[in-house]
Structure 1
């Protein structure tokens, strides 16, 4: 018996020792990388194929693999890769030089890859994702400047300039906004006065207020600009048109005679982009430097107007649509960082993951859902716009019919998306506490970059007024003047006005159970009801525009979000098996073998759409309660008390369900660590060691400051 007790004791001691050894290993592992275990657990059983979602989110398997290859090219190239991995310690001068160095290397690399157009496109997208300042410089030249010739120039003008533009032998900028004028383009003051004797236009800035300002690439780089000017002939103003104006000597970089140009200096963000200002001092350019695809001036000085004044703005339409891509990129990166951090950071009595606090995940999950919605919406809208712009070359009359609608869509989307982007980035900042104030975690710079390069509050108001004016004009023509029901139907962004009377007859929502709120058609119907009734209110007071400006702006915002829900819902239907080839989500032509796999991802896209649509309804509940049939009883409102409770409950429930798979959801966006540039966003979860190593590598982290003897020592050693 004594021997048996001894053996049992030895066995117990052995088991205890094994348990202690395992526990010690766990402690050591947690000490070395406490976040790795948390993120590994978050990635277990996501309920969908994350790799397939990466393909679908990024335009198909072939495109995603090209993006991965492009990221490798950047990371391995010492001239494309940012020294030290981030630009946060670089001076303004160093950032400017770095970005131009990247552009030069990028152009050479793209030339070497010219036989692989897919990889060329992937390199463009990845570089723009990697460096916001690079993106803006390249975008100003390759898109704004180049498209000005495509959209406003004659074939002869386009052919004359395009080779130099594409090869960067001249570098262009886009001179529209002025010191005292921005979105109200008709109020611009810069003049282009035609001199018949020399067949030249004299470009002039007649006032200080007419100084072209906030012009990307003008500060240090651009050799040419396309400038929007008032066209003056024989003292008669014929309105705004676009003119090509040389700015700098292409050999020396010095400003040409008649040009005063300067840099804007330090900004809130994107120091790698040389925003600048331009003043024209009676600068003469040949008559052929007026871009004359639509409006023309003959050598005798006869002005031939364009068929539609809105044609002066068409380059801005495409520019505004690219805010969707910018939002997807900026918000996607910020939310990836915040969500990974939120699942690693532990706090509280029981050392919980902060992501498990309701106040935390409800704050972030709508943003995650919105990135999926924006991803789909961007591809749908840009595809529609690309199809429309082809008509400018083949069927101009048909193209002109579409301009006003696209102008209203682009104005609404730019305003609503920039406001929402600012909201999400601020939510992310708050969710990360004090650590978000460190530039090394990329959130502060993201907020600064977003603020510098998107439209400010004042301009957003102007943009939304353009959207609501189009909406009210269409409403007046179709509904009030009795065209509805007489065979005339409208489409595109205002298609729902065809059903105006149907929605006006609905007084109460038929919501009876929570499951209805998972139906995107049902929630779209609810939101459409709100927009219709707000539109009906607005048209009655629109004559007093300024007194009702805020409600009109809100109507434009609601109308725009309704469009987003509609297009997203329609695209998910296109992604169904029968309509797969009509989908905009998958851009490749050789992915038919993956159709069945992509179908398995549809529930995730539906889940994201469900959360986003219920978020919009939940956020705007107060607006529903502003509309009733004139009585004081709560039964007169569209929603009753039980329905409101149901909406709030399902909103919290959807946020909680999304939180459970949030790490796979953000992983699927496919941002590499070196692109995120944030230790707290590391894929492997080893955030604290990476962050502390970054801090220790910061300039002047150690040592005595150079001002010690002059300004500190007099305190500490006054004698």
Structure 2
């Protein structure tokens, strides 16, 4: 189709996807509130997005992040996210945490022989990955791992593509050897027969049901009952098991192994930030174009004025437009950094700062995904309101954008929980600031804290609008704010601990006005 060998322009890619028969929208059928004349059933929507996915899998340029994701999201959000789940999450997890013995799964995925999904969340545990309860117990005699789901609360859930179509899944489970739990590890698990799509014996799999948006994605749940998988299906880059049941890992420090794993877990969060941005761009495009042609009021006897000319309207939309430019630049940067990190891991290039880079990527993505999601949520809602009653019509498209975007605020980490990962990363740095030690990270997002005490002592000296709007001044303001919030957040935490509170409750009582604000300010200065 002229796009398979690389080098296509963005508009060419958009045109191919837009004009393909499987992406045509039937505009003659309208859905109604009573559900009797819905555009399609959930099952039909899932199948349609699968047909659209087949096209996406033929366009090799889609491997280039994040441009392709932005274009695809404009045309079909459900098919795009299904593609992202299979190509980015499933394959990325294998590339980052697997070794050569697992490359066959990626080849089969690219050739369309299998379809993969990514299953981390459990019914009772989402963000709290350390306490997940699905187990993979090693059987020395059979040399297999036996997967078990102790009860329904430990069932894996919400995995995109799992409900009806996935044949394989990257499953996160507690690795158990001789009764000892070695913590969360990942496994490639066959779920369904690729030819019949029937689940394998020992696997219970189903669909989560209709959602308020993105119903082209068949989110599913899965349980295991003494289900055996080959020993080789353990993704073993960070930890492995010998035939006789000995656990091995290249990391002597468990925290470093955890840090390397965190970098791998960032794929979804990095991509979701791009998806949020793209949905905001689409809503802003609709609202700003509408504001340019919609006329209301004006001087007596004169032509009515486009509503975009009103200061109040500009105040509602243009700040979000400006934020979107900043967010897009940051997303492009972080996507490129993450995918290079992934490629290096896949190629076996293990740099000395790899674990530290993994932790920094995790901190950045744990803050950027919530902040970008919240910003675009507010932008989309403002776009709906600025278009008045016409924005409330389904035909405007803003309602669908709002519903489809809503999931971004929850999956891959509920925002208010996820952002604490970033503040936890930062709070460990304040003792180093007090000692005036050199603070450095692979991506340099925290390097300025080396001079934290000097930053706090510095006085604000901008005296004109031009000086205040200077990028260097803005960066200095944010660096002061991050340093100040880090100081008071750490002091608040220490005071809570000194008062006798357990560390859990001390951290809990340091979130509002402190740690959360710290993480938000940190990602904002990082975006600059």
Same fold (TM over 0.5): yes
From the superposition, tell whether residues 86 and 232 of structure 1 become closer, same or farther in structure 2 (CA, over 3 Å): farther
Distance 1:174 1:180 in 2: 17
Residue 77 (structure 1) aligned with residue 20 (structure 2): yes
The residue aligned with 1:315 is 264
* Aligned partners of 1:243 and 1:289 also within 8 Å: yes
Show CA shifts across 1:402-447 (max 9, x none): 2211111111111111111111111112212222222211111111
The residue aligned with 1:217 is 161
Structure 1 gap ranges (5+): 1-61, 566-719
The residue aligned with 2:500 is none
The residue aligned with 1:14 is none
SS at match of 2:446: helix
Show CA shifts across 1:376-402 (max 9, x none): 112222222334344432234331232
Residue 362 (structure 1) aligned with residue 315 (structure 2): yes
Q: List aligned pairs for 1:84-483, cutoff 5 A.
A: 84=27, 90-91=39-40, 92-107=42-57, 109-110=58-59, 126-158=71-103, 160-305=104-249, 307=251, 308-348=257-297, 350=299, 351-392=304-345, 393-455=348-410, 459-476=414-431, 478-480=432-434, 482-483=435-436
Distance 2:28 2:264 in 1: 35
Residue 553 (structure 1) aligned with residue 516 (structure 2): yes
The residue aligned with 1:520 is 471
The farther-off stretch of 512-521 and 394-403 is 394-403
* Aligned partners of 2:134 and 2:173 also within 8 Å: yes
CA drift of 1:95 comes to: 1.6
Distance 2:196 2:411 in 1: 36
Larger Rg: 1
The residue aligned with 1:623 is none
Distance 2:341 2:313 in 1: 43
SS at match of 1:228: strand
Distance 1:226 1:200 in 2: 16
SS at match of 1:328: helix
CA drift of 1:122 comes to: 7.5
From the superposition, tell whether residues 78 and 86 of structure 1 become closer, same or farther in structure 2 (CA, over 3 Å): farther
CA drift of 1:332 comes to: 0.7
The residue aligned with 2:498 is none
The residue aligned with 2:449 is 497
CA drift of 1:532 comes to: 1.3
CA drift of 1:167 comes to: 1.1
* Aligned partners of 2:409 and 2:415 also within 8 Å: no
CA drift of 1:562 comes to: 1.1
Compute the RMSD of aligned alpha carbons.
2.5
CA drift of 1:453 comes to: 3.6
SS at match of 1:225: strand
* Aligned partners of 1:241 and 1:312 also within 8 Å: no
SS at match of 1:213: strand
SS at match of 1:277: strand
Q: List aligned pairs for 1:534-549, cutoff 5 A.
A: 534-543=485-494, 544-549=506-511
SS at match of 1:84: coil
The residue aligned with 1:655 is none
Structure 2 gap ranges (5+): 1-5, 32-37, 252-256, 495-505
From the superposition, tell whether residues 367 and 127 of structure 1 become closer, same or farther in structure 2 (CA, over 3 Å): same
* Aligned partners of 2:69 and 2:275 also within 8 Å: no
Residue 67 (structure 1) aligned with residue 17 (structure 2): no
Show CA shifts across 1:294-333 (max 9, x none): 1001111111135212333333212211123212311111
From the superposition, tell whether residues 105 and 526 of structure 1 become closer, same or farther in structure 2 (CA, over 3 Å): closer
Show CA shifts across 1:232-268 (max 9, x none): 1111111000011111111111111111111111101
From the superposition, tell whether residues 490 and 210 of structure 1 become closer, same or farther in structure 2 (CA, over 3 Å): closer
* Aligned partners of 1:490 and 1:498 also within 8 Å: no
* Aligned partners of 1:224 and 1:246 also within 8 Å: yes
From the superposition, tell whether residues 501 and 235 of structure 1 become closer, same or farther in structure 2 (CA, over 3 Å): same
From the superposition, tell whether residues 416 and 449 of structure 1 become closer, same or farther in structure 2 (CA, over 3 Å): same
Which of structures 1 and 2 has the larger relative contact order (alpha carbons within 8 angstroms, sep 6+)? 1
* Aligned partners of 1:129 and 1:135 also within 8 Å: no
Residue 563 (structure 1) aligned with residue 526 (structure 2): yes
CA drift of 1:221 comes to: 0.7
CA drift of 1:191 comes to: 0.6
Distance 2:310 2:182 in 1: 61
Distance 1:156 1:435 in 2: 55
CA drift of 1:536 comes to: 1.1
From the superposition, tell whether residues 216 and 425 of structure 1 become closer, same or farther in structure 2 (CA, over 3 Å): same
Distance 1:99 1:247 in 2: 20
From the superposition, tell whether residues 166 and 470 of structure 1 become closer, same or farther in structure 2 (CA, over 3 Å): same
Distance 1:458 1:141 in 2: 19
Show CA shifts across 1:186-236 (max 9, x none): 111111111112111111110211111111000111011110001111111
CA drift of 1:145 comes to: 0.7
What is the aligned length?
492
The TM-score with structure 1 as length reference comes to: 0.65
From the superposition, tell whether residues 501 and 271 of structure 1 become closer, same or farther in structure 2 (CA, over 3 Å): same
The residue aligned with 1:586 is none
The TM-score with structure 2 as length reference comes to: 0.87
SS at match of 1:527: helix
* Aligned partners of 2:135 and 2:173 also within 8 Å: yes
The residue aligned with 1:533 is 484
Show CA shifts across 1:97-151 (max 9, x none): 21112122444x53xxx6x899999877633431000111111111111112111
SS at match of 1:285: strand
Distance 2:366 2:68 in 1: 29
Distance 1:534 1:269 in 2: 37
From the superposition, tell whether residues 90 and 375 of structure 1 become closer, same or farther in structure 2 (CA, over 3 Å): same
The residue aligned with 1:711 is none
Structure number with the higher helix fraction is: 1
